[in-house]
Amino acid sequence: MTILKIARMGHPVLARRADPVADPTAPEIRRLAEDMIETMIDANGAGLAAPQVHVPLRLVVFQAPGERADPGLAEDERFDHTAPLTILANPEIEVLSEVREAGWEGCLSVPGLRGLVARPAHIRYTGLTLDGARLTRVARGFHARVVQHEFDHLDGMLYPQRMEDLTRLIFESEARHHLRREDGA
Ligand code: NI
């Protein structure tokens, strides 16, 4: 496996609409997904989309770790805040509730920054696994946020373009000192 170079904001590959994966079961797609996972883990990211490694295809890898879930939720509410390591080709999203939540996001293509982004809090998503099977999940919380962030990359969208208030675009190093707990830092 190989750690791939990550495209940064300003590279045209991040601004275009990515093309569908013709055959998710193809060996070169598996190889790309494995390299993306290694790259994501190496860079300590929660997700990575193929355009971020200069490949304009609709392929994402992500994980939503459990430790960021809200421990105050009931057991049956908790599961869909987290997601195991997942690879999806040609994914789609359906918004299940118009309720939006603000949360802080970062992006491996926008290094050093954090931004407060409001997104739908409850979604259903679907896509193809590398076996060619269809996977469908319902997601809330951090899981829903990670999925929407990664899928946006496939449409040439970076999180600052989703921000309503650019005064909430800040350096990570400042966030550590100045963000209040209620901001979700
Ligand atoms: Ni990103």
Which pLDDT tens digit goes with each residue over 83-141? Answer: 789 999 999 999 999 999 999 999 999 999 999 999 999 999 999 999 999 999 999 98
Q: How far apart are CA 82 and CA 138, in angstroms?
A: 11
* Predicted pLDDT at 73: 54
> pLDDT over 90 for what percent of the chain?
78
Whether 112 maps to a domain, the answer reads yes
> Is 164 annotated in the active site?
no
Whether 159 maps to a domain, the answer reads yes
Whether 7 maps to a domain, the answer reads no
* Predicted pLDDT at 184: 43
Ligand 1 centroid from CA 108, angstroms? 6
Whether 24 maps to a domain, the answer reads yes
Segment 152-168 shows an average pLDDT of 97
* Predicted pLDDT at 83: 74
Whether 6 maps to a domain, the answer reads no
Whether 45 maps to a domain, the answer reads yes
- Could you give the dihedral angle defined by the CA atoms of residues 14, 18, 22 and 28, in that order, rounded to the nearest 10 degrees? 0
Ligand 1 centroid from CA 159, angstroms? 7
Give the pLDDT band of residue 180 (cuts 50, 70, 90).
Answer: low
3-state secondary structure 160-174: HHHCCCHHHEEEHHH
Whether 173 maps to a domain, the answer reads yes
End-to-end CA distance of the chain: 33
Ligand 1 centroid from CA 23, angstroms? 24
The structural domain count of the chain equals 1
Whether 156 maps to a domain, the answer reads yes
Question: For the domain that residue 154 is a member of, what is the CATH number?
Answer: 3.90.45.10
Of the residues 150, 164, 174, 182, only one is catalytic, namely: 150
Give the pLDDT band of residue 176 (cuts 50, 70, 90).
Answer: confident
Ligand 1 centroid from CA 74, angstroms? 30
Task: Spell out where 129-168 has E strands.
Answer: 134-140
Q: How far apart are CA 102 and CA 179, in angstroms?
A: 14
Ligand 1 centroid from CA 150, angstroms? 6
Ligand 1 centroid from CA 134, angstroms? 24
Ligand 1 centroid from CA 7, angstroms? 10
**Ion ligand 1 residue ranges (Cβ < 5 Å):** 107
Give the pLDDT band of residue 76 (cuts 50, 70, 90).
Answer: very low
Could you tell me the residue range of the domain that residue 122 belongs to?
12-182
Segment 160-175 shows an average pLDDT of 94
